[in-house]
Amino acid sequence: MSREDQIVTERIKKIQELRKRGINPYPYSFIKTHNAAELQEKYSKLKAEEQTKDKVKVAGRVLSVRDMGAINFISLQDGSGKIQVIFKDKIAKEIKNIDAGDFIGCEGTIFRTKRGELSVLVTEYEILTKTIRPLPEKFHGLQDIEERYRKRYLDLITNEKSREVFIMRTKIIKAIREFLDSKGFLEVETPILQPIYGGAAAKPFKTFINDLKQEVYLRVADELYLKRLIIGGFERVYEICKDFRNESIDMQHNPEFTMIELYQAYADYNDIAKLFEDMMAFLAKKILGTTKFEYQGHKIDFGKWKHVTMHDLVNEKFNIDIEKMSDKELFKLAEKYAPEKISSKSPRGELINELFESFADKIIEPTIVKDYPVETCPLCKINRKNPVLIERFEPACCGMELGNAYSELNDPVLQKTLLEEQVKLRKNEAEPWTSELDEDFILAMEHGMPPTGGIGIGIDRIIMLLTNSPSIRDVIFFPFMKTEKSKK
């Protein structure tokens, strides 16, 4: 029998003994008067060995038990932090019923120990949940990274840094709402189940509605529905949502991820770039108190964003002049740096885009990469200065693409033509996830969509940067994991 099996057997016996004594090891509730953080703040000036007559009731999970005989010390953790509770004299004998991991409620008086530890001297206590399995080793927690992701509940119990990351995640999303609400945006909801998916060139997840006998998709993006709302008269809308893409799983990708998409009528991609920069500076100041922070050894400033065209970046990287290169010369260069991404039929713009993608993950400083080739997106307006480009930008930082923004195409005839070409191209590639033309979206556009700017931003990646987390799995409570075979 393993050590863990022995512990489980011993704890089950304790549960049985408690029940024989008429004690319910799983009672219904407990009335707390304070949490740990409130007490630490309220009595921060209490001196060592100073006692009070103030009575409090606290509750939380037992992290550790030190049995010293006539006096016993328990480290108690609740949702706000930790506090020590002390069992002394007669009540000290009850310590045998308590194990690390249990939830207990305690009533007692506040004092500070000789060593300066704020504590509750317990007069009454109650077991609130008797645990069966032991916690991970108290000083190190879960050492196996995969176990941390699979058993996030244990990671949160034993890893203070992990808890802080997820508290910051909540604050970041709240701050995004605060910023956009202050700018007059309306938060909305659009369908997750879509009969025709669109808004991004990504592989979807399929499912089936039994009652309608209809195949549908989990959305890959919110774009086409949010644009319908712009057409309907809402001038500024956003949605914080889950999107689903049946593609890569790696340090920056999870099949289910959190996005924000927003659209602003009467705006173009320059206006959206300014909005994005202001939002990033606001988030950094709100969460960190400054726009400057460090990410994985890199010094970053969300208050300063470099603006550069894709052409200029490619020219600088490969020491070339795209404008003077023939299609044949471009193909040879792209064949060298991105052979698996292109073919002899690849148009010029696609070659340029793949050359850029070959080094895009080396962009470290906050950068707005703008003016993409026209072949890269069918939902974007032609660049007003150069017809072979579109008014599109992607913000990048620390090797990550953070978003995708356009001056949105609002010409319904051209939009239909471009989407038809996209569908035809996908069919020629014989992909099993080929989409159909969204006729209803075109119909909506024919009723008129005002000039509009929009952007989609990967919230998980923004959180990675602001919490200095190297993997997207570190900022998602329950990242998708390959199913483990059940163990006996």
Tell me what pLDDT residue 87 has: 96
Could you tell me the end-to-end alpha-carbon distance of the chain, in angstroms, rounded to an integer? Answer: 13
pLDDT confidence of 179, banded at 50, 70, 90? very high
Overall pTM surpassing 0.95 (yes/no): no
Q: Is the pLDDT of residue 138 over 60?
A: no
Q: Does the pLDDT value for residue 486 go beyond 70?
A: no
Which pLDDT score is estimated for 136?
85
pLDDT in tens, 424-482: 877 666 565 667 889 999 999 999 999 999 999 999 999 999 999 999 999 999 999 98
- Predicted pLDDT of residue 344: 86
* Among the ranges given (17-21, 393-397, 430-434, 446-450), the one the predictor scored with the smallest mean pLDDT: 430-434
Mean pLDDT of 376-385: 94
Residue 45 structure tokens: 């000036």
Q: Mean pLDDT over all residues of the chain? A: 94
DSSP 447: T
pLDDT tens track for 267-313: 999 999 999 999 999 999 999 999 999 999 999 999 999 999 999 99
Task: Give mean pLDDT, residues 363-387.
Answer: 96
36 pLDDT above the threshold of 60? yes
C-alpha 297/C-alpha 293 separation (Å) is 10
* Alpha carbons 123 and 65: distance in angstroms, whole number: 17
pLDDT of residue 142: 65
What is the per-residue pLDDT for 141? 56
- Measured CA to CA in angstroms, residue 347 lies from 254, 312, 353, 370 at distances of 30, 19, 10, 19
Residue range 232-252: average pLDDT? 96
Burial annotation 1-26 (CB, 10 A radius, 16+ → b, else e): eeeeeebbeebeebbeebeeeeeebe
Could you read off the pLDDT of 342-367 as tens digits, one per residue?
988 899 999 999 999 999 999 999 99
Would strands 367-373 and 306-309 be described as parallel, antiparallel, or unpaired?
parallel
Across the range 77-95, mean pLDDT stands at 93
% helix, strand, coil for the chain, step of 5: 35, 25, 35
**What's the rounded mean pLDDT across residues 97-120?**
96
What percent of the chain shows pLDDT beyond 90? 85
pLDDT tens, residue by residue, 39-75: 999 999 999 999 999 999 999 999 999 998 889 999 9
Average pLDDT of 391-405?
98
Q: Tell me if residue 388 falls in helix, strand or coil.
A: coil
Phi and psi angles of residue 55, each rounded to the nearest 5 degrees, phi first: -95, 135
> pLDDT band at residue 139, thresholds of 50, 70 and 90?
very low
Predicted confidence at residue 452, as pLDDT, reads: 98
Query: What integer pLDDT is reported at residue 432 of this predicted model?
Result: 58
* List of domains in the chain: 3-135 (2.40.50.140), 157-305+366-474 (3.30.930.10)
pLDDT 10s digits, 249-266: 999 999 999 999 999 999
Residue 202 has pLDDT above 90, yes or no: no
How many other CB atoms sit within 10 Å of the CB of residue 222?
30
Query: Does the pLDDT of residue 487 top 60, yes or no?
Result: no
**CA pair distance 1, 355, nearest whole angstrom:** 59
Identify the pLDDT of residue 314. 97
Residue 90 buriedness (CB in 10 A; 0-12 / 13-18 / 19+): exposed
- pLDDT for 212 beyond 60: yes
Task: Residue 180: count other Cβ atoms within 10 Å of its Cβ.
Answer: 21
